[in-house]
Amino acid sequence: MSLNLNLEDPSAVASLIDHTLLKPDAREADVTQLCEEALRWNFASVCVNPYWVPLCASVLAGSPVNICTVIGFPLGANAPVIKLAEAEHALQSGAQELDLVQNIGALRSGQLASVDKEIEDLARRVHHAGSLLKVILETSLLTDEEIVLSCRLAVRAGADFVKTSTGFSGGGATKAHVALLRQAVGLAIGVKASGGIRTLAVLREMVSAGANRIGSSSGIAILNELAAAGTGAAAPEGGY
């Protein structure tokens, strides 16, 4: 995990980005285009709803672009057995990274053993498949104390990343919350900033606060902004 990337380098910026399309009205053609864009720009992954994982697996077969999907999205309130089944299906369909929405209500009710076990069970299954687990905390709904507690539970339970937001519940990433996540987890695991990251300046702000992965639907706009500043190239000639 590197926090010392050259953010003047387009390839370094692209390597941070989960190229994201989670809108409920996204069509097959939109998801296919997302994958083709990820290949062209060399993004870290595409992040899609679970239904589209098989399509992404087909389009991205043999490429270095990972397939990320969401579990218990966007509320986190599904029963643990449903989240585990959803994760199992996603892994069997070709997902390599799973972004799990923690049970926010359970956490805020003090049901910490339940939150911990849910993440631990998911992490064990995900790691058995050689994949990554990111835990979405939904920071806009939590106090700072609850954020720190969520981070500690995620680390203990074996998550690979903590993530700020779904982008669907009242607020996205903030510099202060990213810094708090990084402070809480140290260098033990990754920090993903997601929600409202649409410009190069905001991406750089999130990385400076401690993020080493960015979820955004504006990755191409961000890279074109870098190119316009004279420090990068426009669209790459090929893909991987």
DSSP structural state of residue 134: E
Position 20 scores a pLDDT of 98
Position 197 scores a pLDDT of 97
Catalytic residue list contains 117? no
What are the mean pLDDT values of the chain's consecutive 10-residue runs (240 residues total)? 80 97 98 98 98 98 98 98 98 98 98 98 98 98 98 98 94 96 97 97 98 98 94 54
Opening angle at CA 98, ends 95 and 104, nearest 5:
155
Position 30 scores a pLDDT of 98
Position 230 scores a pLDDT of 78
| Catalytic member of 18, 116, 160, 163 | 163
Terminal Cα distance for the chain, rounded = 22
Position 235 scores a pLDDT of 55
Residues 6+ apart with CB under 8 A from 85: none
| Catalytic member of 18, 83, 99, 116 | 99
Answer yes or no: are the C-beta atoms of 62 and 157 closer than 8 Å: no
Instruction: Identify the sign of the CA torsion 200, 203, 208, 209.
Output: positive
Q: What is the DSSP string of 147-196?
A: HHHHHHHHHHHT-SEEE---SSSS----HHHHHHHHHHHTTSSEEEEESS
Catalytic residue list contains 192? yes
